Chain A
Amino acid sequence: MGKGITRELSMVIALIAIWLYFAWREPVFLSARNLSLLSVELSVTAILALGMLVVLIPGQIDLSAGSGVGLAGAVAAVLVFWHDVPAPLALLIATLGAVLVWTAVGTLIAIEKIPAFIVTLGGLLVFRGLHWLVIRNQTVPVVEGGGSNVYSALTTYYLTKNTGFVVATLVMLALVAAALRSRARRGSFGFAVDTAELTFLKLFVVAQLVVLVVLIANGYRGVPLALLLLGAVAAVVHQITTNTPFGRYLYAIGGNEEAATVSGVPVRLTIIGAYALMGVVVALTGFMQTAYSGASTSTVGSLMELDAVAACVIGGTSLRGGRGTVVGVLFGALIMASLLNGMTLMAVAPETKYIARGLVLALAVWLDLRLSKNG
Chain B
Amino acid sequence: MSGAVVLEARAIVKRFGGVTALADVSFDLRAGEVHALCGENGAGKSTLIKLLAGVHPQGSYTGDIRIEGREARFQSTRDAERAGIAIIHQELALFPGMSVGENLFLGALPCRFGLIAWDKVYAQAISVLADCGIRLDPAARLGDLGVGQQQLVEIARAVARQPRILVLDEPTAALSQHEIDTLLALIRRLRARGVACIYISHKLDEVFAIADRITVLRDGAVQGTRDVSDTNAADIIRLMVGRPIEDLYPRRVAESGATLLALRHVSVAARRHAPAVLQDISFEVAAGEVLGIGGLMGAGRTELLMHMVGHWGVRTAGEVELNGQRCDVRSPQQALQRGLALVTEDRKRYGLVLPQSVLFNLSLSSLAGMRRGPFLNKNLEAERAKSIVAELRIRVHALEQPVATLSGGNQQKVVLGKVLLTAPEVLLLDEPTRGIDVGAKLEVYELINRLTRAGKAVVLVSSELGELLGMSDRIVMLCEGRVGGTFTRAQATQEILLAAAMGRTREVA
Q: Using a CB–CB distance below 8 Å, which chain A residues touch chain B? A: 185, 188-192, 239, 243-245, 247-249, 251-252, 255-256, 258-266, 322-323
Contact = CB atoms under 8 A, between A and B. Distances in A.
B31 to A, nearest CB: 40
B332 A323 contact: no
Nearest to B335: A264
A262 B415 CA distance: 11
B350 interface: yes
A191 B398 contact: yes
12 contacts: A188-B379, A245-B370, A248-B376, A255-B355, A255-B356, A258-B349, A261-B331, A261-B332, A265-B333, A265-B365, A322-B353, A322-B356
Contacts of A259: 349-353
Interface in B319-350: 331-333, 335-337, 342, 344, 349-350
A244 B333 contact: no
Contacts of A265: 333, 364-365
Contact of A256 (B353, B378, B399): B353
A236 to B, nearest CB: 11
B400 A245 contact: no
A262 B375 contact: no
Given A261-B331, A262-B342, A191 B399 contact: yes
Contacts of B379: 185, 188-189
| 8 cross-chain pairs, A with B, having the tightest CB-CB distances, nearest first | A255-B353, A245-B367, A264-B336, A264-B333, A189-B382, A256-B353, A263-B365, A262-B350
Contact of B355 (A262, A263, A266, A323): A323
Q: Which of B342, B351, B364, B368 has its CB near the most chain A CB atoms (within 10 A)?
A: B364
B71 to A, nearest CB: 31
B376 A251 contact: no
A59 to B, nearest CB: 12
Nearest to A255: B353
B134 interface: no
B172 interface: no
A249 B370 CA distance: 14
Contacts of A239: 375
A244 B375 contact: yes
Given A260-B353, A261-B331, A265-B333, A244 B398 contact: no
A203 B311 CA distance: 47
Nearest to B379: A185
Interface in B349-389: 349-356, 360, 363-365, 367-368, 370-371, 374-376, 378-379, 382-383, 386
A255 B400 contact: no
Given A263-B332, A264-B337, 10 more contacts: A189-B379, A191-B382, A249-B367, A252-B356, A259-B351, A262-B309, A262-B344, A264-B331, A266-B333, A323-B355
Q: Which of B335, B344, B351, B353 has its CB near the most chain A CB atoms (within 10 A)?
A: B353
Contacts of B331: 261, 264, 266
Given A191-B399, A258-B350, A245 B368 contact: yes
B360 A264 contact: no
B351 A262 contact: yes
Given A259-B350, A262-B344, A248 B360 contact: yes
B350 A189 contact: no
B77 interface: no
A239 B374 CA distance: 10
Interface in B191-246: none
A191 B359 CA distance: 11
Q: Which of A188, A189, A248, A264 has its CB near the most chain B CB atoms (within 10 A)?
A: A264
Contacts of B353: 251-252, 255-256, 259-260, 322
B356 A245 contact: no
B246 to A, nearest CB: 36
B400 A191 contact: yes
Contacts of B354: 255-256
A191 B397 CA distance: 10
Contacts of B400: 191-192
B376 to A, nearest CB: 5
B371 to A, nearest CB: 7
Contacts of A189: 379, 382-383, 386, 399
B157 to A, nearest CB: 28
A239 B350 CA distance: 28
Nearest to B349: A258
A266 B353 CA distance: 15
Given A256-B352, A262-B344, A248 B367 contact: yes
Nearest to B373: A244
A185 B336 CA distance: 29
B350 to A, nearest CB: 5
Contacts of B486: none
A258 B335 CA distance: 16
B422 interface: yes
B301 interface: no
A243 B381 CA distance: 11
A105 B355 CA distance: 28
Contacts of A263: 332, 364-365, 418
A192 B396 CA distance: 14
B375 A243 contact: yes
A14 B422 CA distance: 46
A261 B355 CA distance: 17
A265 B363 CA distance: 11
A199 to B, nearest CB: 17
Contacts of B374: 244
Contacts of A266: 331, 333
A185 B356 contact: no
Interface string B163-191: 00000000000000000000000000000
Contacts of A191: 382, 398-400
A12 B376 CA distance: 32
B376 A245 contact: yes
A248 B364 contact: yes
Contacts of A248: 360, 363-364, 367, 376
Contacts of B335: 264
Contacts of A260: 353, 364
B339 to A, nearest CB: 12
Contacts of A188: 379
A239 B378 CA distance: 12
Q: Which of A252, A255, A261, A262 has its CB near the most chain B CB atoms (within 10 A)?
A: A262
Contacts of A322: 353, 355-356
Contact of B378 (A185, A190, A252, A261): A185
Nearest to A242: B376
A264 B422 contact: yes
Contacts of A249: 367
A344 B306 CA distance: 57
A263 B342 CA distance: 8
A260 B356 CA distance: 12
A249 B371 CA distance: 14
A185 B375 CA distance: 15
A1 to B, nearest CB: 11
Nearest to A266: B333
Contacts of B311: 261-262
A247 B376 CA distance: 9
A256 B332 CA distance: 15
A252 to B, nearest CB: 5
Given A189-B386, A191-B398, A261-B311, A252 B364 contact: yes
Contacts of B337: 264
Contacts of B351: 259, 262
Contacts of B352: 256, 259
Contacts of B364: 248, 252, 260, 263-265
Q: Which of A192, A247, A255, A259 has its CB near the most chain B CB atoms (within 10 A)?
A: A259
Contacts of B370: 245
A323 B355 CA distance: 9
B180 to A, nearest CB: 28
